[in-house]
Amino acid sequence: MKRKRLVTIVILLLVIGGGAAFLAFSGKTEDVQWLTMNVTRGNVDVVVTATGTLAADTTVQVGTQVSGTIDRLYVDWNSHVKQGQVVAKLDTTFLWASVEQARANLQKAVVASDQAKRNYERVKQLFQRNLDSQSDYDTALSSYQIAEASVSQAQTALDQARITLSYATIRAPISGVVISRNVDLGQTVAASFNTPTLFTLANSLSDMQVEALVDEGDIGSVKVGQPVTFTVEAYPTDVFKGTVKQIRLQPTVVQNVVEYTVIIDVPNSNFKLMPGMTANLTIHIAEAKDVLKVPTTALRFMPPREYMGELAKAIPDSVRQRFQRRSRNQNGGAGLGQGGQQNYQNRELTQGSYFMVWVLDGKLIKPVRVKIGLSDGMSTEVEGNLTDGEPVVMGMLAQTAGGQRQSNPFTPGRRF
């Protein structure tokens, strides 16, 4: 409470002595004019901008598990397909030959198995009547078991040949639209190591997504569920909407710049948006509606030391000394000098903190303590003894003897 009373006394004394000090200061060198902008009422929208690429919600690459020549194509670009629908066929000449070969091998194995069975039955009867040896019986049994295993092996080979033949008929794994066709009739595809991609299917273009890269400095503000607006070059006057769906943890590093992929759900009921379009995104982080706001530059402005020095002359020594001691403790020994002013200017604009703005009242300026809210960089929400349309000081303009207007060298640096 004591500190608040002391600051109030200092502000009041500055305001009381402002008129004479301003005239004394301006009359020494040049006619000083203040650069001002009015307090306004409106919305403050905190946003993060990024760019991204549109893509289908689910994209599936359709390939082939067997090598061969494209014999039939049943779909083309932009064709709509149903799950399980035949989209292409390979030449099956060699595949059918493999099936027939496997069938013949199976028949051969069955014949050999029947022969081994009959031999085993005969040796078994003789062995039971003690007319044949144990060794012959064991040999006949083993031969029969091996023949049975050969039949199973041949049957498996036939089944595999039939499955391979079925792979020559390529079906759509999902319902959707063909957005890419990479083969033509008569083209040979080889599936020896990597599965070749024949088609690319998108499940539905009525629901799409944007893969955006957000800088690491902004990713902390992005949350799932935040609204997003964006534009595309194809429709520069249209604004499309979406919602943040996912923030992927894997970083992308390009030339020492760290970015994170953010997935945004986008409805596309009118089918205007197409895969591959570049989206210029605005992610809406927070918004304050119908509030008083001032230029952010006004929160960084402090009158020059010479001007403050003239105002400080009107303050009693005892009050000024106490204020300087408190300023040194808070600003690392800077007091009311240049260091204290720089520390004030370098303070972070944290929501809920208090700053000083200077209001132009006639030819005088007076300080007003405000509590800041949301900031979009250019404008900042404020709460305090301000009214809509009131001019706040952003800097100083000096008029020389020749009548040319120049920026005053005593105006402190600005930080946006």
Residues contacting residue 27 through CB under 8 Å, at least 6 positions apart: none
Q: Are 292 and 39 in contact (CB under 8 A)?
A: yes
Q: How many Å apart are CA 18 and CA 10, to the nearest integer?
A: 12
Q: How many Å apart are CA 317 and CA 6, to the nearest integer?
A: 13
Helical segments of 193-304, H only:
296-300
End-to-end CA distance of the chain: 32
pLDDT of amino acid 147: 92
Q: Are 395 and 302 in contact (CB under 8 A)?
A: no
Other beta carbons within 10 angstroms of residue 266's beta carbon come to 21
DSSP letters spanning 135-195: HHHHHHHHHHHHHHHHHHHHHHHHHHHHHHHHTTEEE-SSSEEEEEE---TT-EE--SSSP
Q: Average pLDDT for consecutive 10-residue bins of the chain (416 residues)?
A: 43 42 41 82 90 90 89 90 92 92 94 92 88 88 92 94 92 90 88 79 88 93 94 94 94 91 93 92 91 89 69 57 54 45 64 87 84 88 89 75 45 38
Q: Are 114 and 205 in contact (CB under 8 A)?
A: no
**DSSP secondary structure code for residue 341 in this structure:** H
pLDDT of amino acid 17: 41
Backbone angles phi, psi at 378, to 5 degrees: -90, -40
Query: Can you tell me which residue has the tokens 């700053």?
Result: 355
Which amino acid belongs to residue 67?
S
pLDDT of amino acid 151: 93
pLDDT of amino acid 196: 81
Q: What is the pTM of this model?
A: 0.64
